[in-house]
Amino acid sequence: MACGRARELSPVTPARRNAHTLVVGREERPEGKDTMLKIALVDDSPVIQRSVSRVLRAMPGVELVGMAEDLAGALRLIDDHEPDLVLLDVNLPRGEKGIDVLHHVMQAHPKTQVIVLTNAVSPTLRRSYLDAGARGYFDKASEFGLACAWIASRVGVPAATSSSAASSPSFGQSP
């Protein structure tokens, strides 16, 4: 993928729920309204993008609106699609950092939530992202299932429904 490009994905048919109110992102959506959680994925690894997108597409109530591999592509994707949630890696190409994406989201899209999914798991780094406004910080290797459960909870899907896909993301393996 070229630098600064974001990939848009084809739309997913919206799911509906018969709940009184469903909290998606930071806004409430009343019963009978479209309850899809729009997610943007920002990660520089095509292998991770493929693996995570496969898991997200299998989750009911989730729409993956696009993926970006670098800072410029992430900002464009987020500004164009205004997702409910950004799934963000800490390290991006050419020394770019996910914290810059997080700062942009907090300033320009305050209703959008950000969770971090990364291999950079130092306690200091984790604290800096949470202090800057990230709603969660998950290790790709050991907490992927927790990240998926966090996402599933935002669309009212029981953790057991999403756990089979989330427990083994198959990073680096063919579909």
pLDDT digits 0-9 by tens, 106-157: 999 999 999 999 999 999 999 999 999 999 999 999 999 999 999 999 988 7
Task: Please give the helix or strand (H or E) that residue 51 lies within, else none.
Answer: helix 46-57
Domains identified in the chain and CATH numbers: 17-167 (3.40.50.2300)
Distance, CA of 164 to CA of 139 (rounded, Å): 18
Residue 35 burial (10 A CB sphere; 0-12, 13-18, 19+): buried
Residue 172 pLDDT more than 50? no
Distance, CA of 120 to CA of 68 (rounded, Å): 19
pLDDT digits 0-9 by tens, 58-98: 999 999 999 999 999 999 999 999 999 999 999 999 999 99
* pLDDT score at 47: 94
Strand ranges, E, within 5-51:
6-8, 21-24, 27-30, 37-42
pTM for this model (two decimals): 0.74
Which phi and psi angles does 44 have, rounded to 5°?
A: -80, -10
Vertex 45 angle, CA 35 and 86, to 5°: 25
Which phi and psi angles does 71 have, rounded to 5°?
A: -60, -50
In DSSP notation, 67-127 reads: EESSHHHHHHHHHHH--SEEEE-SB-GGG-BHHHHHHHHHHH-TT-EEEEEES---HHHHH
Vertex 130 angle, CA 80 and 170, to 5°: 70
Interval 96-105 mean pLDDT: 98
3-class SS at 149?
Answer: helix
Which phi and psi angles does 65 have, rounded to 5°?
A: -85, -15
